[in-house]
Amino acid sequence: MASLVARGAFILFEGVDRCGKTTQSTKLVEALKSSGVNAELWRYPDRTTSMGQMINSYLQSKTEMDDGAIHLLFAANRWEKRAAMEAKLAEGVTLVVDRYSYSGVAFTAAKGIPGLDLEWCKSPEVGLLRPDAVLYLNMPVEAAAARGGFGEERYETSDLQKAVRANFDKLREDWWTIVDATGTVDEVHAACRAVADDAVAKCVAGAPYARLWD
Ligand code: 2DT
């Protein structure tokens, strides 16, 4: 009998700013670990690399950059981590990831720059690993803003967030899980946990990897 190679699951959180991605991704990793799953929290942009530092400086409005160039830099920040990510999963580590290519596409396309439409924005992401599960934390922008307002970084305005949300609606696929993010932290966590447990079980059983945009 062929033996199945266990691998970790790639579980992604997406959604507009302030929808609870950071709280929920942190809580999910803790819950997975306490039930014996080897799990790590990753996030994009990864601001620790040299490309990530350029992105950080742009987001903090310390530097200016062409909209196409910064889009490619966000994508390159995923490509530079691709081998490390794939190696972790192959070792059996489950990765809970806070934002990925879908944010990349949704944000740049929300700027409305001629030529930088959804299709253009998707192309540098083609070939990256596709998540095994997407937990889309669904929340109207008004409800997200009511949580204390947006922060100081570039993109943290209601108008842009509304355009981002509309783009997520265009990008979302039928295998995503849409979670009502207006519930309590525990309610949202329970919904996320159930999806994560299922994804981990499928990956332990040898679910194949997929690539964007399979
Ligand atoms: P955080 O607030 O989550 O650190 O995100 N963004 C993110 C992009 O424009 N392109 C991308 O590829 C990614 C991953 C979303 C920082 C901001 O960067 C945006 C918000």
- The protein residue with its alpha carbon nearest to ligand 1, atom 5, reads 45
pLDDT in tens, 38-65: 999 999 999 999 999 999 999 999 999 9
Predicted complex ipTM: 0.99
Report the pLDDT averaged over residues 10-31. 97
Cβ of 45 less than 6 Å from ligand 1: yes
Domain membership flag for residue 213: no
Domain membership flag for residue 64: no
CB 89 within 8 A of CB 81: no
Using only C-alpha atoms, the chain has a radius of gyration, in whole angstroms, of 17
Cβ of 104 less than 6 Å from ligand 1: yes
Q: What span, in angstroms and rounded, lies between the C-alpha atoms of 170 and 109?
A: 11
Percentage with pLDDT > 90 across the chain? 94
Domain membership flag for residue 66: no
Atom of ligand 1 nearest to the CA of 100: 14
pLDDT in tens, 84-121: 999 999 999 999 999 999 999 999 999 999 999 999 99
Residue 137's nearest CA partner among 11, 29, 14, 41 is 14
CB 95 within 8 A of CB 42: yes
Mutate to test the pocket of ligand 1, among 48, 103, 105, 108 (most ligand atoms within 8 A of CB): 103
- The protein residue with its alpha carbon nearest to ligand 1, atom 16, reads 45
Domain membership flag for residue 50: no
Domain membership flag for residue 5: no
Domain membership flag for residue 57: no
- Side chain identity at residue 5, one-letter code: V
Atom of ligand 1 nearest to the CA of 47: 4
- Asked if residue 157 has pLDDT above 50, the reply is yes
Q: What span, in angstroms and rounded, lies between the C-alpha atoms of 100 and 202?
A: 21
Strand partners, 133: 11
Which CATH number fits the domain that encloses residue 118?
3.40.50.300
pTM over 0.90: yes
Domain membership flag for residue 134: yes
Q: DSSP of the chain, one letter per residue? A: -PPPPP---EEEEE-STTSSHHHHHHHHHHHHHHTT--EEEEESS-TTSHHHHHHHHHHTTSS---HHHHHHHHHHHHHHHHHHHHHHHHHT-EEEEE--HHHHHHHHHHT--TT--HHHHHGGGTTSBPPSEEEEEE--HHHHHTTT---SSTT-SHHHHHHHHHHHHHH--TTSEEEETTS-HHHHHHHHHHHHHHHHHHHHTTPPP-BTT-
Domain that holds residue 113: 10-45+83-204
Cβ of 58 less than 6 Å from ligand 1: no
CA of 206 to the centre of ligand 1 (A): 31
CA distances from 152 to 26, 45, 79, 94, 141 (A): 22, 17, 27, 32, 16
Domain membership flag for residue 211: no
For the chain, the domain total comes to 1
Other Cβ atoms within 10 Å of 203 Cβ, number: 22
